[in-house]
Amino acid sequence: DARVTQTPRHKVTEMGQEVTMRCQPILGHNTVFWYRQTMMQGLELLAYFRNRAPLDDSGMPKDRFSAEMPDATLATLKIQPSEPRDSAVYFCASGLGQPNEKLFFGSGTQLSVL
């Protein structure tokens, strides 16, 4: 089965360190989304790409977060410097960009910033 792959699955780091999360979308998919899940805020959309171009990153704190797609098979989400409030599960999802379509989610990266 085709699936979205996220690495690492778990990351524990200290405040102030750089964190990089990676996502491999399903081959052929042209939309990629980054979501953050916390108990308090639920699922928040951080950034959205179509054909590797960022379309919406209004949900992302710009001072410390950055999202890129170096190529069609890789999306990255970086936090620099990390803070304890960034502790959450970060999900990547991909799709074909068709109207009303379903998204395929990865298993997430569980980030703990101490």
Summarize as ranges the residues that interact with other proteins (CB under 8 A). 4, 31, 33, 35, 42-43, 45, 48, 55-56, 91, 93, 95, 97-103, 105-108
Nearest to 77 by CA among 54, 96, 99, 98: 54
Distances (CA, A) of 6 to 10, 23, 34, 77, 100: 10, 4, 11, 11, 24
> Which of 68, 104 has the CB closer to other proteins?
104
Question: Would you say 72 or 81 has its CB closer to other proteins?
Answer: 72
Shortest approach of other proteins to residue 15 CB, angstroms?
26
CB burial of 28-63 (b: ≥16 within 10 Å; e: otherwise) equals ebbbbbbbbeeeeeeeeebbbbeeeeeeebeebeee
CB of 51 to other proteins, least distance (A): 12
Comparing CB distances to other proteins, the nearer of 58 and 80 is 58
Q: Closest distance between other proteins and the C-beta of residue 76, in Å?
A: 18
Shortest Å distance, C-beta 5 to other proteins: 11
Residue whose token pair is 């699955």: 9
Which residue lies nearer to other proteins by CB, 12 or 15?
A: 12
